[in-house]
Chain A
Amino acid sequence: MITWRGVLRRFLADPVAIGAGVVLLALVLMAALAPLIAPQNPYDLMQLNIMDSEMPPSWRPGGDDRFLLGTDAQGRGVLSTIMYGTGISLVIGIGAVTVSAVLGITLGLLAGYKGGWIDSFLMRLADIQMSLSTLMIAIIALALFQAAFDANIYAEYAIFMLILIIGIAEWPKFARTVRSSVLGEKGKEYVDAARVIGLPARKVMWGHILPNALTPVLVISTIQVAEAIMTEAALSFLGLGMPTDKPSLGSLIRSGFEFVFSGSTWITFYPALVLIALILALNLLGDWMRDVLNPKLRRGED
């Protein structure tokens, strides 16, 4: 049986998990508290001064104490933009996973429980969706969106569009995972018992089967957050993601990329470092969770 205390004990016994957990917690705190702790508000144009642009980190010659990690081309402190940008990246990642989890769980549950043509139809739909890369779907949709509306509207709704598009593009992963665990649970007697009690199919699915099929969903959710953040970063890097005045980590990397060859590497380097740390921490935690929650990989400790 998996208990909270057992999970906590396993967590504290695993240095990699602790490391990843600490990094993730630090990044989340940093993002959440950005308005309080950031040295400057990069969204407030009044605080920006073009004379501060492209300053190196403060310990390098020509650096300024106000900007620990230097500034970008618009004179925004890189440290402050990273703090705000991490938050935007996390919101998009978590939002997209919520969308695909809701979609995927509903459709996967339906496909697994009902079977027959519903199952075939939904799974073929998933196959088709999986054969188109997420990035391609997102690029097409965002390019259309960008062309159809003017820049201000785009800037305002870009974050919702990113969440929706990435979320919808990733539903098959959840649907397949849920479907396969539903198929495993469906044959068990407690499901028969629930039906014998006279519960309608809806309640059998959501109340009885889903709670038993949720473990793998938990694992892929973590890894999918990392994936969604990466997708968003890639899109932003291509200029289809968050606009430059509300940068995510990806758009920060992109905005600095133009200056890499002129020697201002810090504008790209530090956001990239944070992005890598964030993705790595999420993936390591996801792997750890898979090991802990998978009874087949557990050594008879608890």
Chain B
Amino acid sequence: MALLEVRDLRVAFPRGKSDEVEALRGVDLTLDKGERLGVVGESGAGKSMLAFAILNLIAEPGRVSAGAITFDGENLLDLPDRKVRRIRGNRISMIFQDPMVTLNPVLTIGTQMIETLKAHRRISDRAAHKLSVEKLKLVAIPSAESRMDAYPHELSGGLRQRVVIAIALLTDPEIIIADEPTTALDVTIQAEIMALILRLCRENHVALILITHDLGVVAEVTQRLMIMYAGKCVETGRTREIIDAPKHPYSAGLLKALPQNAERGQRLYQIPGSMPPITALPAGCPYNPRCPRATDICRAEMPPLEGGVACFHPLTAEEEVTA
């Protein structure tokens, strides 16, 4: 049985008095033990929403309107808040995008780490301190002992993200959700942090959900890939296969937009238009206004997700990536 299984997950926000708009419109996802899944899409595709929904932390007035999130045999949506808290931050932890703002500026690193441990375990202050220092060493923070008394503003961005990772690892979670963990960092640090996350996941057999819009990172780190567009999964499958031969025109477009796939001296490719806001989705396939392969049926009906792709006119393997 899969470790985490998400079925037809829908998140809705109220619009006006009686209307609702959906930010996630039925997402399926499975994650096995130790598996690494990439979630890719443009800003606003619902990637972060998916992460928050899994942790049952959708901010008011939004709500999970339908679906099931089964973790280790239990539906997280049915559990009382007290039990969800035992899983959240303990068996499933999260790494956020910007380490400048995810650490509390007025508490020391040590306070924040010890507090996390004490929220989930009966542990003495001294033992919690020792374990925290161990984890700081694990993420290769130099002079870990003395960093325990440091405030977040005394550390560099890269160090801070290492601290955030150390906090995520504190309770030996089974799943780590990393929401664009390197976007806010220096380019030179990005590779280091990504390599660290990959190494830690491999060594400790931790499953990873990596949310990003960087297909290059996904290709290196993940085994399976899910491409999201306007709150839906449009293509899913083995990372290697999607990157080698994308089926959905959107996936193909994203790959073509990578700078390393551009020809020298040519303008970088860009998918025309932008993603529609969730309040004004077009009829049929949400990608149809930007899609070069769109036909009448695309403008009338939503294609179902079949064989890992939600498209009426998927690209065939032989087809040149022109979409």
Contacts and interface: CB of A to CB of B under 8 A. Distances in A.
A214 to B, nearest CB: 8
B46 to A, nearest CB: 17
A190 interface: yes
A294 to B, nearest CB: 16
Contacts of A207: 107, 115
A116 interface: yes
Nearest to A214: B106
Nearest to A212: B106
Contacts of A212: 104-106
A135 B291 CA distance: 70
A203 B119 contact: yes
A190 B88 CA distance: 15
Contacts, number: 68
Does more than half of chain A's interface fall in helix, strand or loop, or is it mixed? Answer: helix
Contacts of A116: 60
Interface in B29-63: 55, 57, 60
A62 interface: no
A302 interface: no
A46 to B, nearest CB: 54
Given A198-B86, A208-B104, A192 B96 contact: yes
B102 interface: yes
B63 to A, nearest CB: 13
B85 interface: yes
A194 interface: yes
B153 interface: yes
Contacts of B102: 189-190, 192-193
Contacts of A184: none
Contacts of B105: 190, 212
A188 B164 CA distance: 16
A1 interface: yes
Q: Residue among A188, A190, A196, A212 with the most chain B CB within 10 A?
A: A196
Given A1-B153, A192-B102, 17 more contacts: A189-B102, A190-B101, A190-B102, A190-B103, A190-B104, A193-B94, A193-B103, A194-B104, A195-B88, A197-B88, A198-B88, A198-B89, A198-B116, A198-B119, A198-B120, A199-B89, A203-B119
Interface of A: 1, 115-116, 188-190, 192-200, 203, 207-208, 211-212
19 contacts: A189-B96, A189-B98, A190-B104, A192-B102, A193-B102, A193-B103, A193-B164, A195-B88, A197-B89, A197-B119, A199-B85, A200-B119, A203-B115, A207-B107, A207-B115, A208-B104, A211-B106, A212-B105, A212-B106
